[in-house]
Amino acid sequence: MKGAIWRRRLTFVLVVVLLTWAAAGPTAAQAKIFEPETFTLDNGLQVVVITNRRAPIVTHMLWYKVGAADEPAGRSGIAHFLEHLMFKGTEALGPGEFSQIIARNGGRENAFTSYDYTGYYQTVASDRLEIVMKHEADRMTNLKLTDELVLPEREVVLEERRSGVDREPSSQLSEALRAALFLNHPYRLPVIGWEDEIHALTKDDAVTFYRRWYAPNNAVLIVAGDVSTDEVRRLAETYYGPIPAREIPLRQRPQEPPQLAARRVVLENPRVRQPSITIRYLAPSYNAGQSEHAYALQVLDQILGGGPTSRLYRALVVDQAVAAGAGSGYGASSLDLSIFSVYASPRPGVEIEQVEAAVRKEIARIVDDGVTEDEVAIAKKRLQAEAVYARDQLGAGPRILGTALVTGQTVEDIENWPERIEAVSLEQVNAAAKAVLASDKRSVTGLLLPEPTS
């Protein structure tokens, strides 16, 4: 299903994991990751080529610099809704015909929407790249919508929300936590949209959003696989080149005011089988806030909650045996502020209050006492171990580079990422921990609990 919530989560996890690629030593740290080539068409379309000859296939991925955080007030979900509607045909192709062409040629395709971007991708045999590029360029500018197409698809999105959010307590809690953490920024809104606002979305809303944001000078095309830069340039100039640039509005988003109070959200639901606690802290990204902490926060994330050797897992699951699972999460690639999360689930028979106390004790310990040189070194190697095969994965390069380029980074930022992680020091990790985790005022705590029986 186009626009499914699980796909956005998978995309986020993939990008976070693959961006955390560190080197084993000084020589490896200086190696590049994907070695892409890039050029820009006269109409402003940025094109990136990652040549990978391991198999005769190619991934074509088109990213637009617009997402759920760019939606007009009262129209939450329009970016995701438009993603669905992009499969409804153009003047040249009928509804669903592009997808049928991809399938007939042995390919696969899908799309995704996040807060900062929307993307469309196809993977086909390398000799079918021209077919893909021709039709993706067509729907960049020639989308044809009618009420007969739009209104039934709106019902599809509503059902996606019902099945993916309204019937899933963990998704409901996640929405509530975002709404509480971000006081003013549109990151507080769900990507899929609020139900009442989805109900109100119209064909005109979709067309207006499409005409405002979908243009070559607001997009990045990434082609990876068994191709050459010369071939991609020829095809891009043939199919995307004739599309005129359009004036694109500035991405003017409301920003966060000072946050002065910790918040707490408790969701009780009879469907909950596994209680949990989640603490989310407002954190800098590569592009916003105290961005000098972004690389150190990635190392801190590994030390605090990155797997079975992390502090949280060892303390709560192994040593104290109060939790069934525990960890943390952080992504630096947001256009605006990001989130540093800590989470845990109690073992059967253990009260959630006991787990929360144990989580907070580990957070306080890392803030007050800091980490060690050995932990920093091991974390860097662990980051490398998680994504050492990034170059071999056809979809990794387009996703990593695409996320970076549509959120304010450059190709050089990604290619130099291993060196920047290698340069993170003990002092920087400790400073990042104090900057983000020392105060609860910029945090929200969420408890997911079974509904009381009495």
Among all chains, which residue has been given the structure tokens 């082609």? 223
Q: CA dist 48 to 120, 403, 412, Å?
A: 15, 13, 12
Sign of CA dihedral 73, 76, 81, 82: positive
The Cα 335–Cα 404 span in angstroms is: 9
Among all chains, which residue has been given the structure tokens 């409804």? 88
Backbone angles phi, psi at 290, to 5 degrees: -80, 75
The helix or strand, by DSSP H or E, that contains position 259, with its residue range, turns out to be none
The Cα 215–Cα 159 span in angstroms is: 30
- Reply yes or no on whether 168 is catalytic: no
Catalytic residue among 71, 83, 160, 256: 83
Residues ≥6 apart with Cβ < 8 Å to 287: 334, 335, 336, 407, 408, 409
Neighbour tally for 319: CB within 10 Å: 10
> Encoding tokens for residue 434?
């104090």
Collapsing DSSP to helix, strand or coil, 448 comes out as strand
Catalytic residues: 83
